[in-house]
Amino acid sequence: MKTGKLLQFVNCLILRNHKLINEDLWVRDGKIINPEKVFFDEKITADEKIDCKGAIIAPGFIDIQINGAFGIDFSYNTDKVEEGVQYVSKGLLEHGVTSFCPTVVTSPREVYHNVLPRISKRAGGKHGSTILGIHVEGPFINVEKKGAHPSQFIRDLNEGFSSVLDTYGSLDNIKIVTLAPELKNADRVIQKLTSLNISVSVGHSIGNLKDGEEAVRNGAILITHLFNAMLPFHHRDPGLVGLLASNKIPQNRIVYFGIIADGIHTHPSALRIAYRTHSDGLILVTDAISAMGLQEGKHNIGQLSVEIREGKAYITGTNTLCGSIATMNQCVKLFKEATGCPIEYALEAASLHPALALGISDKKGTLNFGSDADFVLLDDGLNLLSTWIAGECVYKRL
């Protein structure tokens, strides 16, 4: 039965089942539909044909770790949380991100109690990208691998799951928790979070391979920004990096890992090692800070003065890097250049893989029939042409 407007995208290559195929894409009521049913059951033609002029159509990008952008930091701009998240979600459309997990780093207890209830899960549209839920990165991490996290707010899990509830308050809007698996009671906490359909990621850790394997057996499914904020690979105990090649992972389980392909945080050789070792689990993340999307020059962001020079963010007046500012579409291109992987793989690492990790691949991350019509149009150089959510164009490059 015909309902909404029927759209037919023609003259395009669509990414489906790991291949770019020369086929039209049909959309109605915000979903990707099977054209055979239209032809044979309804015997109708499209209400509108959209000529893609040879463009690639790929699933919209999903960023599961982004700390802020466009001058907004989700952990520090807490007085106007809703406005800040809205501003970022709108800006991300220009970079092909149709869904994301706003990430809150190690913070005081009162920040969690103030911020977490106010970043609600939300469907995307012209107003901005879909909010899948919050990624809370910390405070249950190892102080020895804190990175840029403030050490005075790092907490232990000595009270088990009560520590989690006391720190975060409400868990309703949380989608991912990053914690260090070697902490006391981490096993029970991982089991409980997993039972609540909250994904657990291991990171900011001095954990060894055994700690990582135990965390995976208890339900952890992710590694936070592989190679960063963890013990370096060692041949006698490869640490969390060793999960990529462990033979003690439960059968039919994939360990996913975020990786920052911004040309700075992870050497191209390390990207190639990760890709060649465990390609099924690789997820591109930006781990972007609030300076992402800002112009070259000096910016005051919260209490930090940042200077952007040649596409990199430094603490003003120094040569000290202070975080990633690469956008997701830039990461896709940089990753492909570094690894020589197929275009299809680079695109799926930013769409299908995060959707699989979060258990939402029935709706997001693919162009399969019945999936949400969230996709991007790109040229042969993987430059973004337009972004679509639920079959509606939400951004178009001029």
Which residues, 6 or more positions from 367, have their beta carbon under 8 angstroms from its beta carbon? 14, 15, 16, 25, 32, 57, 58, 59, 375
Dist CA 358 CA 376 (whole Å): 20
Q: How many residues does the chain have?
A: 398
Dist CA 235 CA 107 (whole Å): 35
pLDDT score of 247? 96
What tokens does 114 get? 């103030």
Residues forming the annotated binding site? 137, 148, 204, 225, 228-229, 236, 265, 321-323
Residues forming the annotated binding site for Zn(2+)? 137, 204, 225
Dist CA 64 CA 281 (whole Å): 14
Catalytic one of 73, 187, 287, 374: 287
pLDDT score of 301? 66
Per residue, the 3-state secondary structure of the chain, as one string, reads: CCCCCCEEEEEEEEEECCEEEECCEEEECCEECCHHHHHHHHCCCCCEEEEEEEEEEEECEEEEEECEECCEECCCCCCCHHHHHHHHHHHHHHHCEEEEEEEEECCCHHHHHHHHHHCCCECCECCECEECCEEEECCCCCHHHCCCCCHHHCCCCCCCHHHHHHHHCCCCCEEEEEECCCCCCHHHHHHHHHHCCCEEEECCECCCHHHHHHHHHCCCCEECCCCCCECCCCCCCCHHHHHHHCCCCCCCCCCEEEEECCCCCCCHHHHHHHHHHCHHHEEEECCECCCCCCCCEEEEECCEEEEEECCEEEECCCCCECCECCCHHHHHHHHHHHHCCCHHHHHHHCCHHHHHHCCCCCCCCCCCCCCECCEEEECCCCCEEEEEECCEEEEECC
User: Which structural domains are found in the chain, ordered by start?
Assistant: 7-59+367-396 (2.30.40.10), 61-357 (3.20.20.140)
Dist CA 26 CA 38 (whole Å): 9
Q: Does 374 qualify as catalytic in the annotation?
A: no
Dist CA 138 CA 179 (whole Å): 6
pLDDT score of 1? 41
Residues forming the annotated binding site for substrate? 148, 228-229, 236, 265, 321-323
**Mean pLDDT per 10-residue run, the chain (398 residues)?**
81 97 96 86 84 98 96 88 97 98 95 96 98 98 91 96 98 98 98 98 98 98 96 94 97 96 94 98 95 87 76 82 88 98 98 98 98 98 98 95
Dist CA 175 CA 97 (whole Å): 17
pLDDT score of 85? 97
pLDDT score of 36? 87
139 cis-preceded (ω within 30 degrees of 0): yes
pLDDT score of 105? 93
Dist CA 354 CA 360 (whole Å): 9
Report residue 287: phi and psi, to 5°.
50, 35
pLDDT score of 302? 61
Give the chain's largest Cα–Cα span.
67
Dist CA 168 CA 302 (whole Å): 23
Q: Model's pTM, two decimal places?
A: 0.95
